[in-house]
A = this chain, B = another copy of it.
Amino acid sequence: MAIPAATDTTLSSRDKILDTAEPLFARFGFAGVGLREVADRVGMGKSSLFHHFPSKVQLYVAVMERVFQEFDARLEAEAQGESSPIDQLHAWTSASVRMLAEHPHWAALLLRSIIEGEVITEEDSERIDRLYEQIVNRVSEALQSGIAAGMLRTVSIPHTIQTFIGMTIFHFASGELGEDLVGASVYEPTQVEAQLAHIRDYIEFGLRSSPSAAC
């Protein structure tokens, strides 16, 4: 319940607003957050927010865009080591899990951006959509070349990507349900490792071509 206010004085007002709004939008969604609450936590008047962002929607978009950019940048960094498609999938899913574990609000935020497309105009979400597409394309290409090389079973690429998103974003956004299920917070280090192992298992047993053909 406790959401600490951003107090670092070295940050620009704009960044302080984004830092403050991020966990609020993650927890309560776009409609569930009032600008008064954001302003109070930042420590400024409600009207001052409009000096930095022209509207509530634009603030929401800015929050989302920042997360997507950082997420995508980390995945790109993780693509440097040229390895097999399967190793690439391991690297990306593992990086995604670690990122979500390090930023406990991101999973809920990203999940909301998927199901709350209604509130944002197509134009407003254009740049976000492009970042989403970029991330999906990375994984898609790895799956494609893995299948082409005979290393992966001939799975449906879109459905497999959906499963990856479920195992990463949904898993860490599941909050109380996930907590009841695993018996501890999904953000506990041991639980993070367990989910990493679960995804590794999925790739090795559910996706990798069975070696039994060699029998």
Contacts and interface: CB of A to CB of B under 8 A. Distances in A.
Interface stretch (A7-15, A36-44, A158-166): A158-166
Interface string A5-47: 0000000000000000000000111111000000000000000
Interface residues of A, number: 55
Q: How many copies does the complex hold?
A: 2
A182 interface: yes
13 contacts: A28-B31, A29-B31, A29-B116, A32-B119, A108-B115, A114-B174, A162-B174, A162-B178, A163-B167, A163-B202, A165-B166, A205-B206, A210-B212
Interface string A172-206: 01111110111100000000001101100110011
A62 interface: no
